[in-house]
Amino acid sequence: MTITKAVIPAAGLGTRVLPASKAMPKEMLPIVDKPAIQYIVEEAALAGITDILVITNRGKGIIEDHFDHAFELETVLRQKGQEEMRVRLEKTAHLANIYYIRQKETRGLGHAVLSARGFIDDEPFAVLYGDDVIIGEDPAIAQLCRAYEKYGKGVAGIKEVKREQIQKYSSLAVTPLEEHLFNITDMIEKPAPGRQLSLYSILGRCVLTPEIFTILEKTPPGAGGELQLTDAMRTLARRDGMTGVDFTGTRYDMGNKLGILQANIEVALEHPEIGAEFREYLTGFIKTL
Ligand code: UTP
């Protein structure tokens, strides 16, 4: 079955990037000249996803404005002859059918996904975490969708993380299936030191079947008192197995300050307008360090 629906949870508090995220959702923080969430919506659209539900909360209305038409702006750009930018803005409003729902209490990623139930109905769907930008030739979520079509099980985007970092992530029990693909049989969220199952962790993307909602409803709050999506996926993995895709592409964690800086520097170096100038600046600046 082809995946056409996606959920982007973007209702977190973003406490790790305060004060930048006080009035501005962290999902709207720019990487050079585009907000993080636009990279994510573009990735989904490239993968053939046509309908996207963004889970927002209080103060995130500017996400809706960003993916809407801006008639005054488009008129001014037309008058000034700035056609290229006008067309770019117009395209942003047509990337996909985008819907919004508010998560009324910040009770965790699992709780955010549960609020998508009415939108998803009875189909498999993609989840793209709103603060995880992945840049690469082959859209990461397309790699996961292909694995779903091949194996028919829930899929998680996975990567190996450093041993000293695994406690901040989830840890997976995996066995190899084929190149880049694994069978996931168990997982644990934020393992205590020495309790990790492997250094593979779920990062930013998954494809889930609608039964995840019934599981989420029965899942008690986990790490940090939040309803953890990983805890529900563990039930799925233990029961049916899940497929892990060690995706190609570079992931930037826009939920932490270092990730935001890395994303901006690496994207700026390749940027068609400022790339060459920025490279020259950076090369000179490095010599002063
Ligand atoms: P994070 O745990 O990274 O987001 O969730 P957070 O809670 O904003 O982080 P900090 O610790 O306070 O800095 C991953 C994704 O899930 C969304 C976030 O917006 C982010 O895109 N999320 C998280 C929700 O939509 N709802 C929640 O209740 C929690």
The sign of the CA dihedral 144, 147, 153, 158 is: negative
Q: How far is the CA of 111 from the centre of ligand 1 (A)?
A: 11
Q: What tens digit of pLDDT does each residue of 214-262 get?
A: 999 999 998 889 999 999 999 999 999 999 999 999 999 999 999 999 9
Q: Please report the pLDDT score of residue 19 as a whole number.
A: 96
Q: Please report the pLDDT score of residue 184 as a whole number.
A: 97
Q: How far is the CA of 75 from the centre of ligand 1 (A)?
A: 36
Q: Which atom of ligand 1 is the closest one to the Cα of 108?
A: 28
Given a cut of 90, whether residue 196 has pLDDT beyond it is yes
> Closest residue (by CA) to atom 28 of ligand 1?
108
Whole-number Å distance between alpha carbons of 280 and 141: 34
Q: Please report the pLDDT score of residue 183 as a whole number.
A: 97
By residue count, the chain amounts to 289
Delineate the domains of the chain, giving CATH numbers in brackets: 5-286 (3.90.550.10)
Percent of the chain whose pLDDT exceeds 70 = 100
Q: Please report the pLDDT score of residue 223 as a whole number.
A: 83
Q: Please report the pLDDT score of residue 61 as a whole number.
A: 85
Closest of 155, 135, 163, 120 to residue 40, by C-alpha = 135
103-to-83, 115, 176, 245 alpha-carbon distances in Å: 38, 7, 37, 29
Strands 242-246 and 181-189: antiparallel
Averaged pLDDT, 107-129: 96
Q: What mean pLDDT is reported for the chain?
A: 95
> Closest residue (by CA) to atom 25 of ligand 1?
11
Q: Which atom of ligand 1 is the closest one to the Cα of 11?
A: 25
Contact 242, 152 (CB under 8 A): no
Strands (E), the chain: 5-9, 30-31, 34-35, 51-56, 97-102, 125-128, 132-135, 155-160, 170-178, 181-189, 200-208, 242-246, 250-253
> Closest residue (by CA) to atom 6 of ligand 1?
12
Q: Which atom of ligand 1 is the closest one to the Cα of 105?
A: 28
Ramachandran assignment for 241, one of left (phi > 0), alpha (psi -120 to 50 degrees), beta (any other): left
Secondary structure of residue 247 in the 3-state scheme: coil
Residues 6 or more apart whose CB falls under 8 angstroms from that of 58 comprise 102
Percent of the chain whose pLDDT exceeds 90 = 93
Q: How far is the CA of 14 from the centre of ligand 1 (A)?
A: 6
> Closest residue (by CA) to atom 15 of ligand 1?
129
Provide residues with CB under 6 Å of ligand 1.
Answer: 9-16, 55, 103, 106-109, 111-112, 129-131, 255
Q: What tens digit of pLDDT does each residue of 163-174 get?
A: 999 999 999 999
> Closest residue (by CA) to atom 14 of ligand 1?
129
167 Cα distance to chain centroid: 20
Q: How far is the CA of 289 from the centre of ligand 1 (A)?
A: 35
Q: What tens digit of pLDDT does each residue of 32-77 get?
A: 999 999 999 999 999 999 999 999 987 778 999 999 999 899 999 9
Mutate to test the pocket of ligand 1, among 13, 18, 114 (most ligand atoms within 8 A of CB): 13
Contact 35, 25 (CB under 8 A): no
Whole-number Å distance between alpha carbons of 62 and 54: 12
Q: Please report the pLDDT score of residue 224 as a whole number.
A: 86
Q: How far is the CA of 155 from the centre of ligand 1 (A)?
A: 20
Q: Which atom of ligand 1 is the closest one to the Cα of 256?
A: 13
